Structure 1
C-alpha cells in the first residue's frame, strides 16, 4: 500500500513518540510535544505531519513556520532545536514528507524550507542545497563507572574538574527555572546574544517533566553555573546553560558538565550529547577539550527563487555591530528586549 500524509493530532501523539523512540536516528527534538512548546512559547504556526501505511506510522516531520520582521520567514524542522528533518523507515515515506513540505512552502509566504539533519543522510534531492560547514555536534559514550568517565577526560580538562572539586563546589538537580534563567541571561548577554524568556524555560520543564532537569553548581550556597538537561532513551543532552563571572575563576563551568555527566550516568545514561557548536568558537574549543570529536551537522535548504539561504548565526559579519552593542546593554533591558528578538531566529 502507498503511504498517506496526515497531520498530527492529540490522539496520534503517543504513536508518534513510540515511532521516534524506536528509530535509531530519532532524537529528542523529533518528539511530538515540541509542537505545543513552540506554539505556547513563541506563537509560531506548526505543521507536524506523519506518513502512515496500513495504520502504522512510517515517518514523521516536525515543522514550524518562524516569521520575523528582522530575520525573515522560514519553515524549519525544527526551530529552537539542533536536530530535525524527516525521520522515516523507507524512501517512499521520506519522499512523501519532503514533497508535503515543499507544497507547504509553495503555498506559504515563507522564503525557505530548512531541515536540520543530525547526519548527512542521502545526497540532497534536486532543488535542495546543503550547508554542512557551519555547525558540528559532539556526542560520546559514557559508562556507569565514574572513575572511568573521569579518566576518559583529557588531562588538562580533567585537572580543571579536579580543581573545582578541591574548591569545594557542589551541585544540586531540580527544576529551578528562576536560578537557571538569571544565570543564563547574564551569560548570553555577555556573549551578545538575546535571551529566551523565563516563560519558555518554564514551559519546557512543565512539558518534559521527568525527561528534563536543571543541574546547578553551588560555591558555598551561591549558584554560579547551571544547565537545563534533556533525557532521551539512554542519552543526556545539556542544552541551555551558563555561568557567572565567579564560575570562571572557580572552574564552575567545568564542574557543571562533570556533575551533569556523573548524575546522568547514575540515571542510566550511556551517551553524552554535548550539543551543537559553531566551528571556530569558544564553545567548540571547550567541548573538544573534553575529548569529544566533532561530527558535522548537515542543514539542508530549499529556497524559493530569488531568495538567499538564511544566515542568522552570530559569526555573520552583518551582526557584528549588533552583538557589540548588545554586550553593553544593562541586564534588565537585555532581558526585556531579548525574548521578542530571539523568537524570530529559531
Structure 2
C-alpha cells in the first residue's frame, strides 16, 4: 500500500471515491478543501491510500497554526465531519499513522478527527451531535410532522408577513445578518471571502436564503448545501430583536419545503453542541440527536483541547466581544475566525 499527499491532479478520483463511499460526506469532497484553501490558504496535507493502482482510502487534512488557538492538524477544517474514509479498518489505521507522522514533523500539538463513528483507541470528546430526519414526499405532510409548538411558530412567521428570498444575489444581505448575529453571540465573523468561496466552488450545490420582515428588513439567513439526497443548512444567523416573529422556524420550514419540492430525501440540520440553544431548538422540531465522535491523536499535548465557546475561560471574552461596536467586530473578527476550524 502506498500513502501519499494528494495533488490537484487527484481531484476527480478523490471526489469519485467520496461519492461512492457509504460514509463519504460533503466535507470530505475536494471541493470543500478548495473553498477553504481559496478563502484562507491554510496548508493542506490531504492523504490518498493506493493499492494495485486504485484508491483504497483518503484523509482530508488541514494545518492550523495560530498564536491564540494553537498549532494542530484537523480532518476536515471548518467542517462537521472528516476523519478517514477507507475500504478496510487496516487502511484507516495506516492513514492515521501517516497523519500522526506529519503532525510530528510539523511540530503540531495534536490531530483532530471529526468522525461519525468512534475509532478504537483514541480519546473522544462528547460535545457535538448531528440532527437529521427523512423528508416526506408531500410538502404538507412535512409541516404536519413538525411538533405542535414549532409548527405554531412557523405559522406565526407566515402570519407576521415574513418572506424568503433565495439566490446568490442575496449574498450581501446574508452577510450583514450573519455579521450582526455573530456579534450578538460574541463570536468572530468570517470574512466575506470565506462564504463567497463556497458560492464560487460549489455553484448550484449551494444556496443563500434571506428572510425579511414586512418592511423588507433582513432578519434571518442561511447558507445551505445540497449533497447527494441531503439538504444541509450549515451557516445560519438571525437577529435577536426580531425573535418575536419566529424567523428561525419560518426559515427552516421554507428550506424544508423547498428541499421537498427539489426531491431531497434527508433534512440534515447539522451539528449542535449538547445542551445549547440550537440543540433544544432542533429537538423541539422533532429531530433526534446522533452523537458525533471528535477524536484526537495527541502529539505534543497531554489532554484533548477545548476551544469551544462553552469553555468557561472564554466567557469573559465573549461578553467583551458583544459589547464591541459592530463595525469594529467586522474588522477584527475575520483575522481570528480563520483559525476557528
* TM-score, reference length from structure 1: 0.95
Counterpart secondary structure, 1:338: helix
Instruction: Please name the residue that 2:135 is paired with.
Output: 142
Alignment match of 1:123 (pick from 120, 145, 154): 120
Aligned equivalent of 2:5:
7
Report how far residue 108 of structure 1 moved.
1.1
Give yes or no for the alignment of 1:210 onto 2:207: no
- Which residue of the other structure, out of 57, 72, 75, is the alignment partner of 1:74? 72
Q: How many residues of Structure 1 are paired with residues of Structure 2 in the alignment?
A: 339
Deviations 1:36-83 (A, max 9, x none): 222221221011111112222111100001110001001000121110
Per-residue deviation, 1:246: 4.7
Counterpart CA distance in 2 for 1:156 and 1:47 is 47
Q: Secondary structure at the match of 1:46?
A: coil
Decide which of 16, 26, 29 is 1:28's aligned counterpart. 26
2:194 to 196, 200, 204: 200
Following the alignment from structure 1 to structure 2, what is the Cα–Cα distance between the partners of residues 239 and 289?
19
> What is the Cα deviation at residue 144 of structure 1?
2.4
Aligned residues of 2:164 and 2:211 also touching (Cα < 8 A): yes
Bigger shift: residues 148-157 or 9-18: 9-18
2: distance between equivalents of 1:198 and 1:268? 30
Note the C-alpha offset of 1:300: 0.6
Give the 3 Å change call, closer, same or farther, for CA 92–328 of structure 1 in structure 2.
Answer: same
Q: Quick check: 2:108–2:300 contact (8 Å CA) kept in 1?
A: no
CA separation of 1:257 and 1:332: change in aligned 2, threshold 3 A = same
Alignment partner of 2:148 out of 150, 155, 158: 155
Are the aligned partners of 1:169 and 1:218 in contact in 2 as well (CA < 8 Å)? yes
State whether residues 110 and 301 of structure 2, in contact with CA within 8 Å, keep that contact through their aligned partners in structure 1.
no
Q: Distance in 2 between matches of 1:89 and 1:255?
A: 42
Structure 2: where are the runs of 5+ without partners?
none
Q: Which segment is superposed worse, 32-41 or 334-343?
A: 32-41
Instruction: Please say if residues 74 and 111 of structure 1, whose CA atoms lie closer than 8 Å, have aligned partners that are also in contact.
Output: yes
Matched-pair contact (CA < 8 Å) for 1:177–1:198: no
